[in-house]
Amino acid sequence: MTSSIPFIDLRVQRQRIEADLCRRMDAVLEHGQFILGPEVAEFERRLGEFAGVDHVVGCANGTDALVLSMRALGVEPGDHVIVPAFTFCATAEAVVLCGAVPVFTDVDERTFNLTATTLAAALESCAANAIAPVGIIAVDLFGQAANYDALHEVVGGHDLWILGDAAQSFGGSFAGRRVGSLARVNTVSFFPAKPLGCYGDGGAVLTDDADLAQLLRSLRFHGKGAHQYDNVRIGYNSRLDTLQAAVLLAKLEVFEEELTARQQVADRYSAGLHDVAAVPFIADAARSAWAQYTLLFEPGRRDDVAAALREQGIPTGIYYAQPLHRQTAYREYPVVAGGLPVSEDLASRVLSLPMHAYLDPSLQDRIVELVRAAC
């Protein structure tokens, strides 16, 4: 057994940005405006410029970003919301936290995202079962954006909103447009392991809708009206910490270069592994943020590969070993007609390799060799 390497290594990045990071964090400690200090507004503005959207509302985490968005969109208890089953639990959890009901839908076998086909099937199934969903949450799994243009086309005639859960894809793009600008409302997470992560929890909602943004600013601050002690609605305590905004400002400076490096890491993996496993499929129009680099193996083989790498100190991840409709907490919620065979198949075959912008090429060569040998 050799010593193990981290799955995501944040140390090299910290060394690179340390001077800027410390300067920005010291400034916050000095001015002491820890809640909604000037760094939050600056970060919201800079993130909006990066993504090409008019309004960014920082909040406490990516799960809250989903809850706040649905509250702002008017989701009521008992409403139904279509969500993919192959995602992190927060996508469906946020629906339930709003008192609404997730309707689990299958995903595309190549992109792992909702597509026009899977969404049309979900809407048909809802109609056949007298379920009238109010909206759809599309997830950009592992860093690749869903095709929102195609999804919008499917909902064309229906009065439904589409929310983009971009927790994993911020930094990516589709048809030349940045993630964050692809749906009417887009949510991101700054969990430390995300492509753009802070040093704790953080999240944001991105939208071009000024009224929605105003509502979100109220909801994140206890439903405030004209001022902090004017309470006009029931809200949340869900603000992005000033210190985290300072961290994110420092990381945003190097983010574009890191995205290029992540693409190089992904290309290197795919070049070395395409003949022994199914490597990620990225649509022509998409640029992934590579939150994960995820291979598909034949059922049974995946666990052998993971064990062989673990033996050599190389960690792997399984995202996600169970689709949500198989999880204890979500078993009672409706599933579209025909079940979710793709989500179930993917859950039995996915394996993610170490992925970050500073992965050393020689270490990566070793990982490739070990995967090949295990195959």
Binding residues for ligand PLP, per CB under 6 A?
Answer: 61-63, 87-88, 90-91, 139, 165, 167-168, 189, 191, 201, 203
Shortest distance, position 245 Cβ to ligand PLP, whole Å: 15
Distance CA 84, CA 34 (A): 37
The CB-nearest residue to ligand PLP is 62
Q: In terms of CB distance, is 47 or 370 closer to ligand PLP? A: 47
* Cβ at position 233, least distance to ligand PLP in Å: 22
Q: Please, what is the minimum distance in Å from the beta carbon of residue 279 to ligand PLP?
A: 21
CB 20, CB 26: distance < 8 Å: no
Instruction: Measure Cα distances from 348 to 220, 296, 301, 308, 337 in Å.
Output: 38, 9, 10, 18, 21
The residue (of 273 and 342) whose beta carbon lies closer to ligand PLP is 342
| Residue closer to ligand PLP, measured from CB, 90 or 305 | 90
- 198: which DSSP letter? -
Of 51 and 273, the one with the shorter C-beta distance to ligand PLP is 51
Q: Judged by CB, which is closer to ligand PLP: 16, or 220?
A: 220
Cβ closer to ligand PLP: 134 or 141? 141
Which residue, among 256, 258, 257, 301, has the nearest Cα to 278 in the 3D structure?
301
Query: What's the closest the beta carbon of residue 203 comes to ligand PLP, in angstroms?
Result: 5
Residue 312 backbone dihedrals phi, psi, to 5 degrees: -100, 15
Minimal distance, residue 187 CB to ligand PLP, in Å? 7
Measure the CA–CA gap between 196 and 255, rounded to whole angstroms: 7
Cβ proximity to ligand PLP, 68 vs 103, nearer residue: 68
- Helix-strand-coil split of the chain, %, nearest 5: 45, 15, 40
Q: In which residue are the tokens 């409302």 written?
A: 185
**Burial group, residue 257, by CB count within 10 angstroms (0-12, 13-18, 19+):** exposed
Residue 32 buriedness (CB in 10 A; 0-12 / 13-18 / 19+): exposed
CB of 109 to ligand PLP, least distance (A): 18
Backbone angles phi, psi at 175, to 5 degrees: 50, 40
Least distance in angstroms from the C-beta of 168 to ligand PLP: 5
